[in-house]
Amino acid sequence: MVAIVAAFAVVPLLGGIGLRESLMLGAVYMILALNLNLMIGYTGYVNFGSIVFFGLGGMVGIYTITNWGWPLWAAMAGAAVVVAVLALLLGLGILRLRGAYFALATIGVVEATKAFVANFGLFGGSTGMYINFTAYQPLGGPRQALWVLYFVAVGLLAASLLASYLIKRSRFGLGLFAIREDEDAAMVLGVKAPLYKAIIYSASSILPAMAGVVYFFKNGVIQPDQAFDLTLSIEAIVMMMLGGQATVFGAALGGFAYEQFRGYLLTASAFSSFHLVIAGALLLAIVLFAPGGLVGWLHERWPATRRIFE
């Protein structure tokens, strides 16, 4: 875990700007996959709408930066609080649903939020918000701001890894695993399932919301169609599956590998128009033949690796 973060911190200093851009996107994908893993991998609730945290966090954060002139850290904190509270309230409602019904409801949440934000004048409606160049001055101008934002993203990645690890090792995490295996049995044994589910739903929204602020602040523009892109939400599931659900290392690896793979397919001339086809075929192959993902496969092959890759 420390090695991953250290690699992310050191490599771009040697490799230059192109590599940093790729790693930045990789870090954001890893944050999404790791936090989604808390819901799907740990708790067994298929959240198809995890992107709503990312997008809404970005919207709130960018709004405070452009309209109220908040510094970045305050915007991130503000976005995290707003999104976490909304997620908690929403979670208490939709987490009464189980299985496929919950998955459908989360799709509904994304679409409803996207449609609402696209009509919401305060957030710029369907054209979104643009960030004025002067907003980058406190970070030392646009050029240096990109580096600052990169390291903030790496910091969020480190926080995601740490949170995933600590939750997995905690009593709370065991409660979540119990809910995943059999929710009714878990409740009989004294796990407060509705509360646990709402807390983890809300907790899994905090770091993606902050990542949303960083990501869209770096882009300089935020629009509802990109902020609430259902496809990215499902891609996050693909990343998590690729690496191996319910494992910290797997989700991180999946996010990174998917970003590299996608980048390769998009740039390789032979594949660029077929990248969706290949990604789909890969997903199908994982689902049908290796549902445990890369890490699940490793664990099965060499049980000793279970101790190393949590």
Decide whether 78 or 296 has the Cβ nearer to another protein: 296
Q: Which residues contact 272 (CB under 8 A, 6 or more apart)?
A: 265, 266
Q: Are the CB atoms for 37 and 177 separated by under 8 Å?
A: no
- The Cα 1–Cα 40 span in angstroms is 21
- The Cα 305–Cα 290 span in angstroms is 17
188 binds another protein (CB under 8 A): no
291 binds another protein (CB under 8 A): yes
Q: Are the CB atoms for 227 and 55 separated by under 8 Å?
A: yes
241 binds another protein (CB under 8 A): yes
115 binds another protein (CB under 8 A): yes
122 binds another protein (CB under 8 A): no
φ, ψ of residue 129 to 5 degrees: the values are -125, 145
Decide whether 120 or 172 has the Cβ nearer to another protein: 120
φ, ψ of residue 14 to 5 degrees: the values are -85, -35
Closest separation between CB of residue 74 and another protein, Å? 30
The residue from 73, 281, 306, 308 that contacts another protein (CB under 8 A) is: 281
| Cα angle 266, 271, 276; round to 5 | 70
107 binds another protein (CB under 8 A): yes
From residue 288, give the alpha-carbon distance in Å to each of 39, 239, 255, 283. 22, 16, 20, 9
The residue from 22, 74, 126, 165 that contacts another protein (CB under 8 A) is: 126
Interface map 5-44 toward another protein (x if CB under 8 A): -----------------------------------x---x
Radius of gyration of the chain (CA): 19
> Which part of the chain contacts another protein (CB under 8 A), choosing from 171-179, 196-204, 250-258, 278-286?
278-286
105 binds another protein (CB under 8 A): yes
Decide whether 116 or 264 has the Cβ nearer to another protein: 116
293 binds another protein (CB under 8 A): no
- The Cα 147–Cα 135 span in angstroms is 15
Closest separation between CB of residue 173 and another protein, Å? 19
133 binds another protein (CB under 8 A): no
| Cα angle 134, 15, 149; round to 5 | 30
Q: Looking at residue 170, what DSSP letter applies?
A: S
99 binds another protein (CB under 8 A): yes
Which tokens belong to 106?
Answer: 């989360």
Chain residues binding another protein by CB under 8 A are 40, 44, 46, 48, 93-94, 96-97, 99-101, 103-105, 107-109, 111-112, 114-116, 118-119, 126, 234, 237-238, 241, 245, 273-281, 283-284, 287-288, 291
